[in-house]
Amino acid sequence: MNRTGVRTAFTLAAWACIVTIVVLSLVPAEEMVRTGVDGHLEHTAAYAGTGFFVGLAYRVEDRWAVLGVLMSALAGTMEILQHFSPGRHPAFSDFGASSIGAVIGLAAAGLAVRNTLLARRLAR
């Protein structure tokens, strides 16, 4: 697969993760399905995975701060909107866990990109 195909795959994965986060954040409480682990860990993992794909799709090394702010804004928006979903309630701690997860995912993407570029340079 060429670079454009890989970038497209990462972009599709990123947006699929974002849509999944939006849907799962707004589903009414009675329809929620939990993994059995701590809710904060669920938030951190979901946003870390999403942050990883967002970082790879949108070249995290060029836009680290912008992507971090946008992902934190998504987390905050989802928490606020939970106020309007039956049986759900916003929590600042969930926002924090989600934002930390986003930063972890973006950092992992940055490391992956940096190591790939470094490996290519060393192979020359």
Chain mean pLDDT for the chain: 90
What per-residue confidence (pLDDT) applies to 119? 60
What's the confidence (pLDDT) of residue 79? 97
d(CA 30, CA 86): 8
pLDDT confidence of residue 11: 95
CA distance 53 to 55: 5
SS3 58: coil
Confidence (pLDDT) at 115 = 81
Enumerate the domain spans of the chain: 3-30+38-123
Q: Does 124 have pLDDT greater than 70?
A: no
Helix or strand or coil: residue 117? helix
Q: Could you tell me if 29 and 86 are in contact, meaning their C-beta atoms sit under 8 angstroms apart? A: yes
Q: What's the pLDDT tens digit per position in 27-60?
A: 999 998 888 899 999 999 999 999 999 999 988 7
Q: 89-119, pLDDT tens digit by residue? A: 999 999 999 999 999 999 999 898 888 765 6
pLDDT tens per residue, range 63-75: 888 999 999 999 9
pTM: 0.90
Mean pLDDT of the 74-92 span: 96
Percent of the chain with pLDDT over 90: 72
DSSP H helices in the chain: 3-26, 39-57, 60-81, 92-123
Residue bearing tokens 């849509």: 19
Q: Is the dihedral of CA 22, 27, 32, 33 positive or negative?
A: negative
